[in-house]
Structure 1
Amino acid sequence: MSILRIAIAGAGLIGQRHLELIQANPSCELAALVDPATAARDVAQRAGVSLFPSLEALFESDRPDGIILATPNQLHVEQALVCLQAGVAALIEKPVAHTLEEGERLLAASRDSKVPLLVGHHRAHSPILQRAREIIREGRLGSLVAVMGSALFYKPEDYFDAAPWRRKAGGGPVLINLIHEVGNLRSLCGEIVAVQALASSATRGFPVEDTVSISLRFANGALGSFLLSDTAASARSWEQTSRENRDYPSYDDEDCYLIAGTSGSLAVPTMRLKRYDQPEGHSWWKPFTCEVADLQREDPLARQLEHFCQVIRGEAEPLVSARDGLQNLRVVDAIGRAARDGGTVVVVSG
């Protein structure tokens, strides 16, 4: 099997993380870097590859098998369109677009193209989520009834000092953090069709929210509740429970999701499973059978890269398509509108 040549656009922190993963993967090699910034020269020199100021300049000189777009959000759509025109598969870092309108434009273009696009919601490649999906699809929980989720964490003051725009509208946890959770919940429980939300800025006093309470309705009839806060001294977040990013301290006695069905419930990511033994006669008077589902941990970013290689070779369809990436944006947008305006907001799909 030939080694795939993959280029990276964007030599910032996430771009350099992708670079490390490519160098560690025997299925691919780094073809080039694309970044107009002066600082990118050192990154390219250390990696031993050519540096190009733009995708257009790269494609005039070379045609890699794939490209990873690790650039600022507002560049994602235009650069993905350039990749589509050049016939080069792209992995687009999340979010797929910085506005719904731009996301719709990219989705329309991708539908008319045979060039694959993979959106970098890397948690979708987590073995934890994969195992949880298997348990749900095997029917071990019965019919889904409800999900409770949380992303409760405390961002330090220097987080806001480093980027003052985070104190303003658009800088809160809804637009910055919630899109990860939406992707997880859709992956586990299906499409979200309606939302309600209450937001507060009472703790930090910024113009933007710091805490949000969200209600969700799924297409299968299940309901969900979700608590989001960047000012809560709590470990009930994916980062602090999954142990997938070692930069964060983790706590193996905490979960961030509880998925409940008619036959049992699953806590994620500890994978504690409580089920009724018999298919009938369920009752709160009867004890559960308790177990911890088996799990093999791997780096979801590394798994995402391997999946991208499979997508380039035509061996797999994108696990997170442009349509999926846009749908995550639509749900986040609906939650933001519900928090601002009140009432129930129906989530558009397409």
Structure 2
Amino acid sequence: MNGPTRIAIVGAGLVGRRHAEAIWRNPGADVSAIVDPSDEARQYAAQHGIPCHGSLAELFASDHPDGVILSTPTLMHVDQGLECIRNRCAVLVEKPISASAKDAMQLVRAAEQADVPLLVGHHRRHNPLVQKAKQIIDSGAVGAIRAVHSQCWFYKPDHYFDIAPWRTRKGAGPISVNLVHDIDLLRHLCGEIVSVQAQAAPSSRGFENEEVAGAVMRFDTGAIGTLTLSDGIVAPWSWELTAREYPVYPATSQSCYLIGGSEASLSLPDCTLWNQTGRRDWWEPINATTVARPSSDPLENQIAHFLSVIAGETEPLVSGREGTRTLSVIEAIQKSALTGQAEVPETFADTPTVGVAI
């Protein structure tokens, strides 16, 4: 590939602009165009001297980038992703991949049949501390995982909802908007989630969506997981406030994940391993070791990975199928919160069909 890899960004909102900044910090890539019909997007593109198109059809009529990042509302992901695939253009779709796992599989199968790379933007997997945690777990240092706890508590201010009223609607609560990140990491680190039982409480501000939720999860390894989630609690225990990924969130020294194993326990994101050097016994002293790990911007790492996938050098870390499996767990949690019954996340065939033109 001659010259920088050319990436078009669809949707020039906050997330789209963060992707653009990450691309510009990579010497091997450039933003080739913005696709967004808004006046603000045209002004943004003009400021940076790049074309702005009102639609993907308009983009592909005049250009063919090496890749596209979809930073648009979730309901638009499948149709826009299919358009990229029809034009044989690699695509990175922001999470969640779709509004439903069933619709997501339409996109996944089209990408596999056309042999076009489809990635999902679960950027936390590109954080070095997550990669270090995965290495620790896979090394056997924790032993067999027996229990997991995830805590995601924060307070979204009123103006967060005022500037985007859709955030008050049913389906736009913290389960779908925020918990999807945590579920993806729990799956990545601890195994597949095979059943969930959840409860949720309505918004105290009168919105249509939930404000508090909790769930018990069973993993395919036999481990049991618990989680609690709220966007109406003032607290330091969330990935945003503990992982130091994005400077806009004030950092705390707390952790929000606890992973308990037969040999040791691991807290994240502080990456502290708790074990006993002698015999395993609750009367024996327990030691805490904070594991050193490199630090870098997960969004920048995700862009570098996207370039490597486009170049055919590696396979997607978070494929369309991976993103769909995470979404299936979210759907099971939402359904369980309504029915009060344990729910099993929908599963899909793991054998892709590759190389068939669409």
Q: Under a length normalisation based on structure 2, what TM-score does the superposition of the two structures give? A: 0.93
Moved more, 187-196 or 199-208: 199-208
CA distances 1:258-292 after superposition (whole Å, capped 9, x unpaired): 101000001101111111325xx422122223211
Deviation at 1:47, TM superposition (A): 1.6
Deviation at 1:119, TM superposition (A): 0.7
How many angstroms apart in 2 are the aligned matches of 1:334 and 1:145?
Answer: 22
Runs of 5+ in structure 1 lacking a partner? none
How many angstroms apart in 2 are the aligned matches of 1:21 and 1:336?
Answer: 33
Deviation at 1:166, TM superposition (A): 3.1
Match of 2:210 in 1: 209
* Aligned equivalent of 2:287, options 286, 289, 295: 289
Deviation at 1:334, TM superposition (A): 0.4
Match of 2:153 in 1: 152
Deviation at 1:205, TM superposition (A): 5.0
How many angstroms apart in 1 are the aligned matches of 2:311 and 2:164?
Answer: 40
Q: Under a length normalisation based on structure 1, what TM-score does the superposition of the two structures give? A: 0.95
Change (3 A) 1:63 1:130: same
> Secondary structure, in 3 states, of the residue corresponding to 1:160?
helix
Match of 1:170 in 2: 171
How many angstroms apart in 2 are the aligned matches of 1:111 and 1:300?
Answer: 26
Counterparts of 1:146-295 in structure 2, within 5 Å, are 146-201=147-202, 203-252=204-253, 254-277=254-277, 281-295=279-293
* Aligned equivalent of 1:313, options 306, 311, 314: 311
Native 8 Å contact 2:244 2:251 kept in 1:
yes
Deviation at 1:206, TM superposition (A): 4.0
Moved over 6 A (4+): none
Native 8 Å contact 2:90 2:310 kept in 1:
yes
Match of 1:85 in 2: 86
Native 8 Å contact 1:241 1:256 kept in 2:
yes
Task: Name the amino acid aligned to 2:135.
Answer: E
Task: Name the amino acid aligned to 1:262.
Answer: S
Runs of 5+ in structure 2 lacking a partner? 349-358
Percentage of matched positions with identical amino acids:
44
* Structural RMSD (CA): 1.5
Change (3 A) 1:33 1:157: closer
Match of 2:128 in 1: 127
Deviation at 1:67, TM superposition (A): 1.1
Task: Name the amino acid aligned to 2:237.
Answer: R
Change (3 A) 1:33 1:140: same
> Secondary structure, in 3 states, of the residue corresponding to 1:7?
strand
> Secondary structure, in 3 states, of the residue corresponding to 1:17?
helix
Task: Name the amino acid aligned to 1:99.
Answer: S
2:111 equivalent to 1:104: no
Change (3 A) 1:86 1:158: same
